[in-house]
Homo-oligomer: A and B are copies of this chain.
């Protein structure tokens, strides 16, 4: 189905490379069944010594063979890859993007796309069309969020004035790279990126100013990883947003995450909660019939067909700049202007 929507360099056997297995490689692996001509041509740990056996066992289950490379530079040099999936170590994401983009491959990457402004600015300066860098803002393709977004774009709430976004996760037992700011990026960039993306995606308005706080209390031994955070974002036209982030969802909770969004406009209110989208305006008060978008990896390959839903490199820069500003605001306990990068 997606076959006609993307072009392969190797006569339609789409060759995928994996750099790192810390993030959401599942976005690619889970889509393999929908892409019969796609193979994981090669994989590596991103030069950090991570154990790939779990990832390889999952490929085994899918009867996919792959070549394991010791160094990502060798993977990129030796395979003529159509797509590179970048998923850790997170502090090197911008480096991998630059290297992968230089090969001409399409890129699906973890976000934030940089862990500091210097790397983000270098990335923004280097990546130019036709490079295609799709950040893993996969929650855009959760049906309730996609449906709510389509309603707002259709004018269902008038002009957006106030937003609240929530990301609440179980902490569980996380690998040690989550214990340090340098390798986890911290709660605000790692988890908050999704919430910041919703705000940017729904409004299309520039975030101007952010004030945030975060706390490690309640992180159950996860080093300097924050367990809770609160952000206040001011956008163009005086649009206001608040974001609550936490790893405090009880271990016994029904699901890993509890994602919510409430978008209040001059003519109505749209909400997402428990995987349901609600609309209240003069014409409607109740659940919206859910649309059925593809998962992020097929959606990325569909490109323009998704009409503004597939996250772009521009989106990645926007979201990362806000995430880094929010984290710094929380560290410095002061509101900060969001740099325009």
Contacts and interface: CB of A to CB of B under 8 A. Distances in A.
Give the most central of A231, A241, A242, A334: most B CB within 10 Å: A242
Contacts of A229: 162, 240
Interface of A, helix, strand, loop or mixed by DSSP = strand
Contact of A241 (B162, B218, B230, B269): B230
Interface stretch (A99-107, A128-136, A209-217): A209-217
Interface string A151-175: 0000000110110101010000000
A160 to B, nearest CB: 10
Interface string A184-227: 00000000000000000000000001011111011000000001
B264 A228 contact: yes
B282 A228 contact: no
A1 interface: no
Contacts of A161: 215, 217-218, 227-228, 246, 248
A281 B251 CA distance: 8
A238 B217 contact: yes
A121 interface: no
Contacts of A246: 161-162, 264
Nearest to A161: B228
Contact of A267 (B234, B238, B250): B250
Given A162-B246, A248-B162, A211 B232 contact: yes
A213 B232 contact: yes
A38 B248 CA distance: 49
A229 B252 CA distance: 35
A161 B220 CA distance: 13
Nearest to A240: B230
Contact of A228 (B214, B240, B333): B240
Given A217-B266, A250-B280, A335 B230 contact: no
A244 interface: yes
A143 interface: no
A237 interface: yes
